Structure 1
Amino acid sequence: MSRTILGLLLTISTTLAAELVLPSELFSPQVAQKVLATANTVQNPAKYPQWTDRDKGTWQFFSPDTWTSGFFPTTLYALNERLSICPTDELKATDWLGLAQTWSSAEVPLETKTTTGHDVGFLSFPFIEELKVHSNNQTAQTAVNSFANELAARFDPIVGCTRSWDTTDPTDFTVIIDNMMNLEVLFQSANLTGNHTLIDIATSHADKTLVNHLRPDGSSYHVVEYNSTTGKVIKQRTAQGYADNSTWSRGQAWGIFGFANMFKHTQNLTYLETSRHMAQYFLTNLPGDGIVPWDFNAPLDPPRPADSSAAMIAANGLLLLSQGELSLSPANKSGSDFYIDSAIQIIANMTTLAWRPEWQSLLANGTVNNPALNNLTGIVYGDYYFVKNANDLVSLGIATCNGSLTGSTPSSPSASVSGSGSIPSASSTDGVRTSSGAARSVQGRISGLAVAVAVLGGLVL
């Protein structure tokens, strides 16, 4: 390992030390109160929250056959996990597991009939969580295996991917970056059945995504269209981002998490390097206020909306990436600490911006689909990853249940390192509410460190 590079990284980390604070809202009693209030809402026939309105933060409900319907039951499982790791009297007063199982039940019929396509992976999340509690639950096992088989049936060996959206043209084979998240169900089912073909499908899909969705700078295309007859790329474009050549932040977040997860399952270093590359782009392209925009390349005038859901997904992906760094031999602890600190800073900045005590959702300032003018809302998957981030910080020994850091992470570099001049600066990205001084800028400190960490990671390997 180069002493010069190592010394540079340690010098930057030490010299720029600054206090890093978790937002108290992560462990606020309101988290459980709000989720419980939604869980107690009677929906007959069953419907699931997906996003809120923009004015009062009231949940809008949709049929179970919607790609997001697995997230609210999974949030209930997350609070059941919170009960085990942070057993407060308030959490003890609710049967979170029973609520989670009840809310998952309306998804069971989707095992054999669903229109969600590749998003069966997201639908499987609550059943995967159930198996963590009751590994022999036959209903959950059947659900996971059925969803995995449905996703596997969408695989085309010529293209090398699982099809995302269905199209009227059978030769048009569409794949979106989001599908990296759905690969988890293939691994879960393979563990249950021993069917290695499912792992082969997941690996092929990830390999093709790596080649055709990523640009040289680590940014990503949202959509890649293939010709199913030849397997060749027809077009690389966006559907929910600003432009075909721009970077939609939630897609970038899915990629950070998805490739870190692929490394977790396979120990293939290429996936770890890809997650690092995508994380570096995400972090170095944050604006001056550290607020995650809907699209990194969208114009600042008019103000571009933020996306709190992209922020929470990216933060969780960074925590997963940090664990990948620690699993190396020798462990890349400096890289791991860097990603942990970056995740905490993103969570802090976005919570300051988007926490709404009066809303039914935990967070506001989510962007579902900006081209369709669906923005500035609460989003169910943003809330789920908000809860999961807090759980993971405690489970990893980084934070305590009262929301303080344990001291096992290093001091966080401050914003005094200047970023690249090519990175745009903005006072606010959401167009409605600016972040307060408590949400410190993350862009500057990260742009100085990301390159050092990336180089260090490469030398460790």
Structure 2
Amino acid sequence: MRLEKKILMIVWAALGTSSLAHGQTEKLKLSKEFIQQQLDGAAKQIKVLDKETPKDKFPKTFENGKEVFSSSSWWCSGFYPGTLFYLYEGTKDQQLLQSAEDKLTYLEKEKNNKGTHDLGFMLFCSFGNALRLTGNTQKYEPVLTTGANSLASRYSQKTKTIRSWDHGAWDYPVIIDNMMNLEFLTQVSKVTGDKRYYDIAVTHAETTLKNHFRKDYSSYHVIDYDKNTGKVRSKKTHQGAFDESAWSRGQGWALYGYTMMYRETKKKEFLKQAQQIAKYILDNPNLPSDLIPYWDFDKDKIASSDKMYPNKDLRDVSAAALYASALLELSQYTKGTESTNYLDKAETMIKNLSQAPYLAAYGQNGGYILQHSVGALPLNSEVDVPLTYADYYYVEALVRYKRLLAGEPIIKEIVK
């Protein structure tokens, strides 16, 4: 191990997760039996999907009674193997581990894909979990390192961000979703000892904090920068109701992203941001009593005459799954009633997602675990269907909760 890597590993250990589980076990309301029942049921359900999935394809959704698959280049390709790895962790079912590792064979080539910012979703959710659970550094570290280098190639010194899209009429678009890919860079920084990845992630998070949020701490979806000057050209949406609306899953990307970046950096401004985003979500008058959000917090501001949104009252289960996983982690970095509130709300979300109408019956829903998610209502894309990333973050929340029940740190990193 190189000297600089050793030094960096010592620093990361000091910032690590050993203090995450700070005596909350007695406060937990969901039982070990309940969580294990959900994990076992999810594992049984996903085997239905596994049988339907071609070897070289990746589950995307189940729509109009038909399975919809993607190639490895689709931004969601890493979620399915990632879910299999999490379910293996939660059940120790060797069949799930084998299916997950087999799928990686067809995903590995995306390590060279420099045309997308979604490499964290694609590679870290999959190969990251593979490395963490198998310890096979020779097989999986090179994939992660190459992929992180591909992601870092999209960083601009002018905008101080990682470019999100290469399509459309944008000059230099950055979406709030991009916060989720930063964990990939910070973790590979630990693996390699190369601080460049860490620095890019931190700078992107700082720039996003400065430009992406309104005074009430809700997030815009898309910020378009001038690629030559780095100045903000416009603040827009692509999947929300309108430019000034708070798209529910976008708020989830922000909450999860800044919670994670506080864990990775211990920068107090990131923790404060996560707390304020959580407050916006949890105190929002348009959050339903079961805490499963509508697809946009401002859906009531859509005119009844607007024919573009005939189903504006749809819920987005994928956003709720994100909230639950993020709030579990955020509860570990806060104290007192605030921490208890985050934990309580996450438990309510997990409990409600684990039953009808959100949990699919065994053998139904194409083998997906959850139903009633919304991809992009303005685009009439993936409307009221199961989504592979909803399953991923739901199972992640279950696994995180299981760790809490065992008195373990909620986060287990790929670096041992």
Provide the TM-score with structure 2 as the length reference.
0.82
Is contact 2:240-2:246 (8 Å) kept? yes
Q: Quick one: distance in 1 between partners of 2:290 and 2:47?
A: 33
In structure 2, C-alpha distance between the alignment counterparts of 1:242 and 1:24, rounded to whole Å = 36
CA distance in 1, matches of 2:406, 2:245: 34
What aligned pairs does 1:118-129 form with structure 2 within 5 A after superposition? 118-124=117-123, 125-129=125-129
Distance 2:393 2:81 in 1: 13
CA separation in 1, counterparts of 2:157 and 2:166?
Answer: 17
Aligned to 1:274: 273
Larger Rg: 1
Distance of 2:53 and 2:224 partners within structure 1? 41
> What letter matches 1:242 in structure 2?
A
Who is 2:222 aligned against?
223
How far residue 272 of structure 1 moved from its aligned partner, in angstroms, is 0.5
Q: Is the 8 A contact 2:114 2:153 kept in 1?
A: no
Counterparts of 1:42 and 1:379, CA distance in 2: 15
C-alpha distance in 2, partners of 1:149/1:369? 30
* CA distance in 1 between partners of 2:36 and 2:226 (Å): 45
Q: What residue is the counterpart of 1:50 in the other structure? A: 60
Instruction: Report the CA distance between 1:227 and its aligned residue.
Output: 0.3
Please state whether the residue corresponding to 1:324 is helix, strand or coil: coil
In the alignment, the residues of structure 2 paired with residue 303 and residue 26 of structure 1 have an alpha-carbon distance, to the nearest angstrom, of: 35
Q: Does 1:354 align with 2:358?
A: yes
1:44-66 deviation line (CA, Å, top 9, x unaligned): 5x11001111x54x431111111
Residue aligning to 1:380:
388
Q: Secondary structure at the match of 2:233?
A: strand
Residue pair 1:74, 1:384 contacting (<8 A) in 2 also: yes
Match of 1:158, SS state, is coil
- Structure 2 CA distance for partners of 1:163 and 1:26, relative to 1, 3 Å: farther
Counterpart position of 2:78: 70
The runs of 5 or more residues in structure 1 that have no matched partner are 1-18, 85-90, 326-331, 401-461
**Cα distance between partner residues in 2 of 1:310 and 1:384:** 12
Letter in 1 for 2:151: L
Query: Hey, what's the Cα distance between the residues in 2 that align with 1:369 and 1:99?
Result: 30
Q: Which residue of 2 aligns with 1:323?
A: 332
Is 1:367 the equivalent of 2:374? yes
Cα RMSD, aligned residues only? 2.4
Q: Is the Cα contact below 8 Å between 2:155 and 2:200 reproduced in 1?
A: yes
Q: 2 CA distance for matches of 1:153 and 1:315?
A: 32
1:393–1:399 Cα contact (<8 Å) kept: no
Provide the C-alpha distance between the structure 1 equivalents of 2:260 and 2:240, rounded to a whole number of angstroms.
24
2:175 and 2:70 mapped to 1: Cα distance? 23
Deviation digits for residues 176-198 of structure 1, max 9, x if unmatched?
Answer: 00000001111121111111011
Q: Which amino acid letter does the alignment assign opposite residue 50 of structure 1?
A: K
Whole-angstrom CA distance in 1 between matches of 2:174 and 2:312:
30
Q: 1:52 to 1:24 in 2, by over 3 A?
A: farther
- Helix, strand or coil at the partner of 1:123: helix
Aligned residue for 1:69, secondary structure, equals: coil
Q: Aligned partner of 2:291: which letter?
A: G
Correspondence 1:305 to 2:306 = no
| Partner secondary structure for residue 243 of structure 1 | coil
Q: Deviations 1:87-129 (Å, cap 9, x if unpaired)?
A: xxxx4xx4322211101110111222464x0001111121111
Matched, 1:80 2:91: no
1:143, CA displacement in angstroms? 1.3
CA distance in 2, matches of 1:26, 1:273: 33
Comparing 206-215 with 367-376, greater Cα deviation is found at 367-376
Structure 1 residue aligned with 2:166: 166
Output the CA distance in 2 between the equivalents of 1:376 and 1:318.
24
Q: How does 1:15-54 map to 2 (within 5 A)?
A: 27-28=37-38, 29-43=40-54, 46-53=56-63
- Give runs of aligned pairs for residues 4-15 of structure 1, distance below 5 A: none
Going from structure 1 to structure 2, the CA distance change for 1:191 and 1:333 (only over 3 Å counts) comes to: same
Alpha-carbon distance in structure 1 between the residues aligned to 2:221 and 2:199? 23
In 2, Cα distance between equivalents of 1:121 and 1:292: 25
Q: What is the CA distance between 1:133 and its match in structure 2?
A: 2.3
Q: What is aligned with 2:211?
A: 212
- C-alpha distance after superposition, 1:221-249 (max 9, x if no partner): 00000001111100011000001000001
Using the alignment, how far apart are the partners of 1:232 and 1:370 within structure 2? 30
How far, CA to CA, are the matches of 1:290 and 1:168 in structure 2?
34
Q: Name the counterpart of 1:4.
A: none
- The correspondence for 2:348, drawn from 345, 348, 372, is 345
Counterpart Cα distance in 2 of 1:291 and 1:136: 38
Instruction: Using the TM superposition, give the Cα deviation of residue 42 of structure 1 relative to its aligned residue in structure 2, in angstroms.
Output: 5.0
Distance 1:42 1:375 in 2: 21
- Give TM-score, length-normalised by structure 1: 0.74
Match of 2:155 in 1: 155
Which secondary structure does the structure 1 equivalent of 2:331 belong to?
helix
Change (3 A) 1:168 1:226: same
Could you say if the C-alpha distance between residues 382 and 274 of structure 1 is closer, same or farther in structure 2, counting changes exceeding 3 Å? same
Taking a change above 3 Å as real, the CA distance of residues 99 and 207 of structure 1, as seen in their structure-2 partners, is same
Contact 1:112 1:146 in 2 (8 A): yes
Residues 96 and 279 of structure 1, relative CA distance in 2, 3 Å threshold: same
Q: Report the Cα offset of residue 25 of structure 1.
A: 8.1
Deviation at 1:37, TM superposition (A): 2.2
SS at match of 1:323: coil
CA distance in 1, matches of 2:59, 2:114: 18
Instruction: Report the identity percentage.
Output: 33
- Measured in 2, the distance between the counterparts of 1:168 and 1:297 equals 25
2-side partners of 1:37 and 1:198: how far apart?
A: 38
Q: After the TM superposition, which residues 232-251 of structure 1 pair with which residues of structure 2 at under 5 Å, given as runs?
A: 232-251=231-250
Q: Partners of 2:354 and 2:245 in 1: how far apart?
A: 26
